[in-house]
Structure 1
């Protein structure tokens, strides 16, 4: 039997040793979310004065990066990401070189394997090695296996606080496949605090619950935020049972329902008994619950976010958010005008996957019971003017990105109700959306719709 411990020791290096591999002009995939290579980042920060033109690939880092903090003039590092959070938005406001890469999350593994996205060094947090020589990618499967496979230099950062998350495939990398190992005894993987929902979000979640055809045997896809958290609470209050999960993100709300047996995935039509996801983030309790839990199955994002695979789930309910929607049903979920905010993620994939049914002559895919929902509060307060403004608008503001086309949208839900856009003409869509807008803006929306020729 191979001596994996000996091989481990041979590849074990200090952070200072491996960071010397970084040369000017290199691309470094430093991983993302809670699985950024935090100790490697610190060592990289200490070399700022020696480096130039370093490009980092990192989606949604849950803490500020030391190397970017040390590069206080923004001259050394450029950051590329398919999804922004407040950490990256802050760097953008500081005029750092932070660039958004428009892409569906489900496409990333393919882009790495096809050589369209490339990194010289792949590095990221993994679990301690098991007796068979494997490290687990822990809470971030997504595209990491593909990134490591195609990198010139492969470095794993072992962190004992990272849970071993069981998977369907591509959730592990073997010691024989990596070039170097570093051990992080300084950091615990970051947590995400719970968000206190607003009254509007509570009402939105209630409207979603009332829309559902059944509370027995649903399969849900949700994200992070006030609406998903309250939605999970309402599932419990309304007596939901045998709930399944096929999602991008495994959230705190999902964990809590699974602990109580409400989520058990027993009635799932596809991969029954498994909470299918591609990444997770939340509390330390969530991470401890994930550790070797046979109920969960982590898959790469090109599996979880594949439209045909999503459609295999019966009673699928997909819930996604938006920043703004126009009167014809176009969804903006990633920018505020031309100012980038978040990312496409898997919204389009789940909207389409939950709505897809195959034609009669093809093998059967999709279920008529499946629905997709876009949820958003009807208003927001402008930070500069302090004025209340409508998120339902006559047309998207100049520079806004259309995340989900109007042709894909089924239900839009606000605190004022549900708009069903299926099969509706433009005038009918206008009236559906006006009825769920804030009352203070309904007359204005109708007036503007007439000016635009949307209503006669």
Structure 2
């Protein structure tokens, strides 16, 4: 491992024209490295970056002058890039990223890591993000690490060793943070309707957004909950400290909350520091169906942009505007079917700024197929779709739509059923 200062980094010696550079998503970005890379982009020539969800301002639309930008979707500050038409989205499940990297289908020439200082054994923790980092490390020609003394040492699978790092830069800077989402009365109503579907001893996957956060805040009266999630948020601390989470009945990883990302504030980072009750793992553990099917009473909690009256889910785009991503939604929804006692909850307000979110036809792609959908919840009720006919599904979905939209949806349903009936003649 060679140690340099950030001023000594000469990216023309590190990144070749045509290379693909990766770095940690969510709050795990090595910002000192990414800022330095972007500042020297013109001297490198044309190269490519691959990004997951981002919450920094490192990449801007004008940086497309030398950087080709690819990524998982328009999460966080990627939305600015998507709106400017400079982000090329690669549709894939989060569970596919690691295998695609390792196979070479998704190139990774240089990986930029943000690591904690080493422990007494000389091992570095990946800190805030552990999803497809190991796959990138194994594939990359060059591993460059920002060792930031403000990164917590979070227990993780396969801590990083010095011999895996080619170049290290030592820093001390505040970490990216994701404050808790503001929770509205509609969010709370949806969360209240979800409560009966989350019994004691459930194992929770917590998606992004205000409704999952509202649900987590209401679960302190539960007993022996478990956590197996793509990310952890601040509100999980309250569940653990209240005694609601024990992780004793998950079926695997008992006694430990498992995640691939920390998406919160300094409170969460300090809580996870050297905490034996937390374990950060790659997506080969958090999202793999062979692992997930071993979980008991697995409850996935996710949201959507819109859902059609038959149960097809769009979480990616409204028309031609890409605003979301596939993420781990389908991975976790399918896992709920494999888990004994599992359920998947898809939750959203019945209306948004652009009208009804229960629609006759999706305006964007199908993220989750209707055959995979289990329960849909709006502030107007709960639609149980698992094992239901198309006609039953349509009736249930209309019943939880905004009242002022139900007549229009009824007309669309009549036309759909008529056309479907005619197609079977």
The TM-score by the shorter chain falls in which range?
over 0.9
Q: Displacement of 1:371 after TM fit?
A: 0.8
Name the structure 1 match of 2:416.
452
**Cα deviation digits, residues 298-347 of structure 1 (max 9, x gap):** 11112111123212121221111111111111011111123211211111
Name the structure 2 match of 1:51.
44
* Equivalent residues of 1:154, 1:180 under 8 A apart: yes
* Equivalent residues of 1:31, 1:57 under 8 A apart: no
Tell me if 1:226 matches 2:210.
yes
Aligned positions of 1:274-293 closer than 5 A = 274-293=256-275
Name the structure 2 match of 1:437.
401
Distance 1:23 1:316 in 2: 45
Which residue, 155, 166, 169 being the options, matches 2:144?
A: 155
**Cα deviation digits, residues 74-124 of structure 1 (max 9, x gap):** 3111221114323111122234x2111111111111111111122221112
* Equivalent residues of 1:247, 1:304 under 8 A apart: yes
Q: Displacement of 1:407 after TM fit?
A: 0.5
Q: Displacement of 1:73 after TM fit?
A: 6.0
**1:445–1:40 distance in 2 versus 1, CA, 3 Å:** same
Aligned positions of 1:106-117 closer than 5 A = 106-117=95-106
Distance 1:211 1:113 in 2: 38
TM-score of the superposed pair, with normalisation by structure 2: 0.94
Aligned positions of 1:214-253 closer than 5 A = 214=199, 216-236=200-220, 239-253=221-235
Which residue, 188, 193, 197 being the options, matches 2:183?
A: 197
* Equivalent residues of 1:123, 1:155 under 8 A apart: yes
**1:138–1:83 distance in 2 versus 1, CA, 3 Å:** farther
Q: Displacement of 1:381 after TM fit?
A: 1.5
Which residue, 232, 235, 238 being the options, matches 1:256?
A: 238
Name the structure 1 match of 2:330.
348
Distance 2:191 2:347 in 1: 8
Name the structure 2 match of 1:370.
342
Give the unaligned 5+ runs of structure 2. none
Distance 1:401 1:102 in 2: 10
Which residue, 376, 391, 401 being the options, matches 2:365?
A: 401
Tell me if 1:85 matches 2:75.
yes
Q: Displacement of 1:442 after TM fit?
A: 1.0
Distance 2:238 2:55 in 1: 22
Distance 2:316 2:80 in 1: 16
Aligned positions of 1:126-137 closer than 5 A = 126-137=115-126
Aligned positions of 1:294-443 closer than 5 A = 294-356=276-338, 366-367=339-340, 369-382=341-354, 389-397=355-363, 400-443=364-407
Tell me if 1:179 matches 2:176.
no
* Equivalent residues of 2:74, 2:82 under 8 A apart: no
Tell me if 1:101 matches 2:125.
no
Tell me if 1:38 matches 2:31.
yes
Deviation beyond 6 Å, 4+ runs, structure 1: none
Q: Displacement of 1:221 after TM fit?
A: 0.8
Distance 1:144 1:129 in 2: 17
* Equivalent residues of 2:73, 2:322 under 8 A apart: no
**Cα deviation digits, residues 2-29 of structure 1 (max 9, x gap):** xxxxxx5xx1012243334223222111
* Equivalent residues of 1:108, 1:302 under 8 A apart: no
Distance 1:38 1:22 in 2: 17
Distance 2:74 2:63 in 1: 21
